[in-house]
Amino acid sequence: MNKVERLSRMRRNILLGVLAGTGIAFVLLLYPLIVPSGRYLWWPAGSGLSFPFYYWAFFVWLLTLVVFVILYLLYKDKLRKDPALRAAVDDERVRINWLKAYRFAFYTLVVITVLMKLAESAAARAVLRGSFPLPGETWFLLSGAVLSLVSSFLYYNRETQDE
């Protein structure tokens, strides 16, 4: 395996790590909505209840970001030292794949925002017997954006077998 392949694989592994960490955080945010007994654990203010899911999600995501940002900086440093290598690793197809991934993430954000507004509606409140947890809005949007961006890039940029 040459340097280009090795660095491409390194990027893929970093993004897979970000995807896994963000995915776990996303599930922790969703859990109180899916499991009725855990619903109110979501909303800490004034409830008097503990709030492990919200904090665990925050912790997992923070840890993911710290670890993988450091790895990403190391990866970028390797590319910075060798412009020819950078041109090969970030070739024209990879750059277009990033643009396609950003477009997909944008549409996903629009859909998430609409769904969240619907969840705030009176009908949804009746079904959920409570309001949609507003403190999670930013979390949902951010983790949804990261999940859709990273997963769509990995999908568009998936590897093929040598022929």
Site residues (vs another protein, CB under 8 A): 2, 4-5, 8, 84, 87-89, 91-94, 157, 159-163
The Cβ-side half-sphere exposure at 70, using a 13 Å CA radius, reads 5
Q: At closest approach, how far in Å is the CB of 11 from another protein?
A: 10
In sequence order, which residues have a C-beta less than 8 Å from that of residue 3 and are 6 or more positions away? Answer: 85
Looking at beta carbons only, is 11 or 26 nearer to another protein? Answer: 11
Comparison of 58 and 98: residue with beta carbon closer to another protein: 98
Kindly state the smallest distance separating residue 153's Cβ from another protein, in Å.
13
| Nearer of residues 77 and 162 to another protein, judged by Cβ | 162
The C-alpha atoms of residue 7 and residue 149 are separated, in whole angstroms, by 20
Q: How far is CA 6 from CA 12, 59, 79, in A?
A: 10, 30, 12
CB of 59 to another protein, least distance (A): 36
The distance of closest approach from Cβ of residue 8 to another protein in the complex, given in angstroms and rounded to an integer, is: 6
Residue closer to another protein by CB (options 12, 39) is 12
SS (H, E, C) 49-82: CCCHHHHHHHHHHHHHHHHHHHHHHHHHHHHHCC
